[in-house]
Structure 1
Amino acid sequence: MTVLTRRALNRALLHRQLLLRRWKLTPAKAIERLVGLQAQATNPPYFALWTRLDGFRREQLSRMLSDRRVVRLALMRSTLHLVTADDCLAIRPVLQPMLETAYARSFHARETQGLDLDEVVKVARELIEAEPLTNAALGRALTDRWPGRDVTALLQAVRARLAIVQLPPRGLWGVGGQPTGTTAETWLGRPFAPMSPDDLVLRYLAAFGPASVQDAQAWSGLTRLRKVFDRLELRTFTDEAGVRLFDLPDARRPHSDTPAPVRFLPEFDNSLLSHADRTRIIATEHRPRVFTNNGIIRGTVLVDGFVAATWKLGADALTVTPFGNLSERDEVEAEAHRLAAFAGADVPVQFVAKAAT
């Protein structure tokens, strides 16, 4: 069986993630190819598309959110993602059992013991489909109905059971404020059209392969995917540790010596989050400098395809924090200036020696 080296897996991932060059794709096509963008914060999806697409402009994504062509809601790993309307209606039903199981195993579930959660969800649906509500407003309405119950636990139960999308202006570039939500079916004006678990795995491999069963489960939050892999017609490989990897039969896997340009990835980028073994893009010793104790995943800089620094855009500077001697420093600085210009920030680029804690 063919062994794929770490560099070979790196170049395959970069190709699937549109990071070996900037592509001439529409934002919608790119978002679908990537199976969504991580969207815990407002601006990262904009940076994610800028670093991947030729000529992307911020107003393109803002307009797509306003036109209901893309939406933000809880999907893979029960985290907030930005996906196309079609993918929202196709993917969310496949993930529904995982979302409900995750809630049932959470400490919030203890606070709703004895409640008829079907009734809670029914009431919540009626409320937010009649009028989009903020979490605070929905929480008040639910605790009025079930006084004495923990409001966060009630809201988390509803979030697990209902596909609630965050409505604009939430998600528009530079716009803050409390998220307001309604159900995906109401916002998009059509019902769910579920894809199969098989199709979800194929989409995953197209965006992140070659990958193991454990990798797919780490990305999706789903379990027991071995049977899905077994019934699909896939190519098989191993990595250098002997782990069995799967890929689409006709997928391209660039040579390990393929040049990889400097790329700035935003906070929470899925390139770093979608495998059980992430060494194909970030060295194990560097992970603590990117994955923080409070759940933030810092923006990162790829040099020769691998994470070599973190970055942060502040009011006074765009700061790059290398992990060591930074090769291609001039290219990193030039790309940093391009990123700042995209963000409309007239600030200098600074290199600092030590990551913030």
Structure 2
Amino acid sequence: MPDVLTNRQLNRATLARQMLLERSQVTIPEAVHFLGGLQAQQSNDPYVGLWSRLDGFTHEALTALIVDRTLARATTMRGTLHLHTADDLVGFRALVQDFLEAMWKSNFLRRFGSEDKAKVRRAGVRILDRGPITSGELGKQLKAKFPTAEALSLSVLLQMSETLIQVPPTRIWGNGAAPLLTRVENWLPPARPALTRTDLVRRYLAAYGPASINDMQIWCRLTKLSAEFRALDSALVVFQGEDGRVLYDLPDAPRPAADAPAPVRFLPLYDNAYLGYDNRRRMLSESDMKRINIFENFKPAVLVDGVISAGYVVSRRKDAARLEIEPYHRLSKKQVREVEAEGEAFLRFMEDGAASYTVEMQPFVA
């Protein structure tokens, strides 16, 4: 019978893989590659995620890598925006392409009128190849040619059928403008390594294991991955979760002790450290999961002792920066001090150049 891993043991394994147990010395591209991309729905999400993971991280370093095309942002896993290395992006996108097209059909086909998808795609490609354009303007121009469809259904069709890159100067730190889009063929060199489903299983387990097949399928939205796990059977170790789930892992991947110290970490609004699983109890306690639906609370998370323990809001009025933290359960005085200390460093990162910084820990309300 496989060894049983507690949720706390799984938590420490995830933190170690996700570079959240201690900040890593690896380069930004190495981190983005290892993590299989960073969720990037919000412009600043990758910056926040990497600040909490990498020693000495700066805004300027990540921006430079986006500008020089070492990294690029596009729609991949789960139909959401991710920041990938240039070498990874096309391979990840190819694997989830069928899911993206099915996602468009489910959400937009009834809003597409009587238009011909192939004609819309050809027209959209011609527009995109003239130069970077916003999604809104793309939809507007397509609507003029295909009047029976809603503009949004037209622009999203192009985003789901073509790999569209969000190009700088939009979607970098400090730029809140609507993202400019171009086709990947106009932005990255054509020769990129292929990525197989089996490759993806190995990479997922390296960064997220131990994990179940369903965990991985939620992370990437691929289905029927049992065959790939079976093909790797002799190369994997098998565990069991507290609830009896079968969990897979790479033999030599780190699995720290359950009592390994876990520092306070601030995560972005969306982060695969918790979104990358079907069963998220390793990152969120059972009691908090029952008491509050954190995943619909729309507040980025604070990790205390490795688990989601609070949400936060950053604000700035003139030169006064403020960080408000709302705890989801009672924290000890020592934990509060640790949150406040990390919070001040985080606020200075988020609002560099402010004249004053205030961290406010709100009282816990049961």
Q: Which residue of 2 aligns with 1:323?
A: 328
5 Å-filtered alignment, 1:57-72, equals 57-72=58-73
> Deviations 1:25-58 (Å, cap 9, x if unpaired)?
1111111111111111111211111111111011
TM-score by length of 2: 0.92
Number of the residue aligned with 1:254: 256
1:105 and 1:193 map into 2 onto residues whose CA distance is: 31
Q: Taking structure 1 as the reference length, what is the TM-score of the superposition?
A: 0.94
1:114 deviates by: 4.2
1-structure distance, mates of 2:163, 2:95 = 12
Using the alignment, how far apart are the partners of 1:154 and 1:312 within structure 2? 35
The 2-side partners of 1:231 and 1:113 are apart by 44
Show the 5 A alignment for 1:199-214.
199-214=199-214
Q: Matched residue of 2:204: which SS?
A: helix
**Which structure 1 residue ranges, 5 or more long, are not aligned?**
none
Structure 2 alignment gaps of length 5 or more: none
Q: CA deviation at 1:2?
A: 0.9
Q: Would you say 1:341 and 2:342 are equivalent positions? A: no
Structure-2 separation of matches of 1:322 and 1:151: 42
- The alpha-carbon distance between structure 1 residues 231 and 70, as it changes in their structure 2 partners (threshold 3 A), is same
Q: 2:187 aligns to what?
A: 187
Aligned to 1:275: 277
Question: Does the 8 A contact of 2:113 with 2:149 survive in 1?
Answer: no
Cα distance, 1:348 vs. partner? 0.4
Q: Could you say which residue in structure 2 is the equivalent of 1:239?
A: 241
- SS of 1:21's partner is coil
Moved more, 21-30 or 183-192: 183-192
Paired amino acid for 2:110: R
In the TM superposition, 1:130-209 aligns within 5 A as 130-209=130-209
Matches of 1:310 and 1:91 in 2, distance apart? 31
Structure 1 residues 229, 305: CA separation in 2 closer, same or farther (over 3 Å shift)? same
1:245-293 Cα offsets, whole Å, 9 max, x none, are: 1111221211112111111111111111010000001124435352226
2: CA distance, partners of 1:192 / 1:100:
22
CA distance in 2, matches of 1:114, 1:228: 40
Identity %: 39
Query: How many equivalent residue pairs?
Result: 351
Distance in 2 separating the partners of 1:41 and 1:321: 21
Q: Secondary structure at the match of 1:141?
A: helix
Matches within 5 A, 1:9-48: 9-48=10-49
What is the distance in 2 between the residues matched to 1:354 and 1:99?
Answer: 41
Shift of 1:191: 4.5
**SS where residue 348 of structure 1 aligns?**
strand
Tell me the residue number matched to 2:55: 54
**SS of corresponding position for 1:136:** helix
* Deviation for aligned residue 1:186: 1.4
For residue 227 of structure 1, what is the aligned residue in structure 2? 227
1:84 is displaced (CA, Å) by 1.0
1:225 Cα deviation from its structure 2 partner: 1.0
Residue number in structure 2 paired with 1:125: 125
Aligned partners of 1:65 and 1:171 also within 8 Å? no
Matched AA of 1:25: V
Match of 2:90 in 1: 89
Counterparts of 2:79 and 2:359, CA distance in 1: 35
Larger mean CA deviation between 277-286 and 304-313 belongs to 277-286
Q: CA deviation at 1:126?
A: 2.0
Q: Over aligned residue pairs, what C-alpha RMSD do you find?
A: 1.6
Shift of 1:144: 1.6
- Could you tell me which amino acid in structure 2 is paired with residue 301 of structure 1? V
CA contact (8 A) 1:72 1:165 kept: yes
User: SS in structure 2 opposite 1:301?
Assistant: strand
